[in-house]
Amino acid sequence: MTTVPAPSRIHGGTRTVGIIGWPVSHSLSPAIHNAAFAALDLDWTYVPLPVAPGDGRGAVAGLRTLGFAGANVTMPHKTDAAEVVDALTDDVRRLRAVNTIVVGEGLTTGHNTDTPGFDRFLRRDAGFDPAGRSALIFGAGGAARACALALARAAASRITVVARDPASTADLRQALDGLSTELMITGFDDAAADPADLVVNATPLGADGEQLPLPPVDGSTLVVDLLYHPAVTPMQTTARERGATAFGGLGLLLHQAALSFELWTGHPAPLEVMSAAAVASIAERS
């Protein structure tokens, strides 16, 4: 059984990181990262930073002044952060969204760990190699774009995006510009028509019991619902009843957090400890 270490005392030399967003009271990130810092005996702390809409640029610009080593960024400030930091990775340029900032000696760098985090999750947790495989993604927002970019980078053969409004997929198309994966757009009414090797829910649907129109799935299909609350969604239940392998969203959350941790500290992330902290925090809120 993995135990979650208690946080260490904070003093003047403690390195500080946090999460900028609105709201952030629901975030699992403080519990996940503080457990990881304690497990490796690192003199670091992670704090929530509630920043109202419209104030994101100022908050990001102030990180260095306040002595922060970095920060995570969540809604609604990911795009603002991309416009304020000094340097951007290629993933950020494609997605136009920053979820991790590293404050270095001379500059701040914006990263997006969702794309490599999804790739890590698929390969390490689900044992799924996207190369030559087909995928169907529900949604066209930030999470969907990050997943689609990971799949296209890994040479998936085809990605079908299910969106209520085709116009909402313009940013997703831009994110995949120049990559060879075939991209198709369809509506919810047609989503169940064609099978895919991987099915991903990157929408909020399912949090309140909604059922998505799953395509044909069987024992060879991987289904991933990026929701992690509830722990088992209607999509996961239906997929398993039909013989598919199904995962929730905790894996992606942990792998993107681990990548942030590694960017800040230079240490391999203690994933087992981070997972235990996330599960304990979810249980406390249930």
Residues 6+ apart with CB under 8 A from 131: 154, 155, 156
Residues in the chain: 286
Instruction: Give yes or no: 251 in active site.
Output: no
Residues 6+ apart with CB under 8 A from 11: 43
Q: Is there a contact between 85 and 77 (Cβ–Cβ < 8 Å)?
A: no
Distance CA 275, CA 286 (A): 17
Closest CA to 273 of 27, 69, 31, 43: 31
Distance CA 171, CA 177 (A): 10
Candidates 78, 120, 133, 153; catalytic one: 78
Strands 134-138 and 158-162: parallel
Other beta carbons within 10 angstroms of residue 219's beta carbon come to 8
Q: Is 50 exposed, middle or buried (0-12, 13-18, 19+ CB in 10 A)?
A: middle
Query: Coil, strand or helix: which one is 166?
Result: helix
Residues 6+ apart with CB under 8 A from 12: none
The edge-to-edge listing of strands for the beta sheet with 134-138 is 182-186, 158-162, 134-138, 198-201, 222-225, 245-247
Strands 198-201 and 134-138: parallel
Residues classed as catalytic: 78
